[in-house]
Amino acid sequence: MNVRASILFLTVGLIFTLCTPCEIRAVQARDHLTEQEVEIVKDTQILDKRIDVFIKAADRRLLVLTGTGAVNAKESKKESKKEAELWGALPTGTRAELIGDIARIFDEAITNIDDVSARDEKNPLIHKALRNLAAAVTRIVGQLKPMEAQLKGDSELSTFDQLVENAESIIQAANKLPPPAEKPVDKKGKSKTEKTKETN
């Protein structure tokens, strides 16, 4: 499963076709993760949990772009304060920069999955991480789609196209996965997980 190679060829060609040299340099120079997000990624060694960190980072940019995302109105002030201490301030930037951040976060997430797959292709967390990532990119791109008609200039249009290309490659890879294994159930139709919850 080498999704990274297909993403790279598609997106690099697209960027060089649609962007001016100055815009390309600006996209490359910007860090797509904040310093605190980078530290959280480094501290999160388990694959599926690390992918959750990338999803959270993308959601933070979605929140800035649209006012929606993982953070919602029901979140208490205490939780918001605790999250701010862990993750830092919300990222800033132009619309093109924030969309570009999300595209590159998707790219880094799939690279992490590919790296684990190359070392241990039977790792059960690979399928779980890829499915979670595919669900997240579907949701995030769906929430950004209404913005497409408002995009202006080569920079905004090219970064959005890059975002969509990365998302489609991830979704296609997830669609090739075998169906998830069914959890064993007893005669009453309850899984072991459900029985454990009942006894606790």
Q: Are 107 and 11 in contact (CB under 8 A)?
A: yes
Q: Are 156 and 95 in contact (CB under 8 A)?
A: yes
Task: Read off the pTM.
Answer: 0.74
How far apart (Å, rounded) are the C-alpha atoms in residues 138 and 123? 24
Q: Is 156 exposed, middle or buried (0-12, 13-18, 19+ CB in 10 A)?
A: buried
pLDDT tens across 129-180, in order? Answer: 999 999 999 999 999 999 999 999 999 999 999 999 999 999 999 999 988 7
Query: Which residue shows structure tokens 């998830």?
Result: 180
pLDDT tens across 31-77, in order? Answer: 999 999 999 999 999 999 999 999 999 999 999 998 865 444 454 45
Q: Which two tokens stand for residue 114?
A: 């590919």
CA diameter of the chain: 65
At 154, give phi and psi (nearest 5°): -60, -40
Please state, as a whole number, how many other Cβ atoms lie within 10 Å of the Cβ of residue 111.
14
Q: What is the DSSP secondary structure assignment for residue 75, as one 8-state letter?
A: S
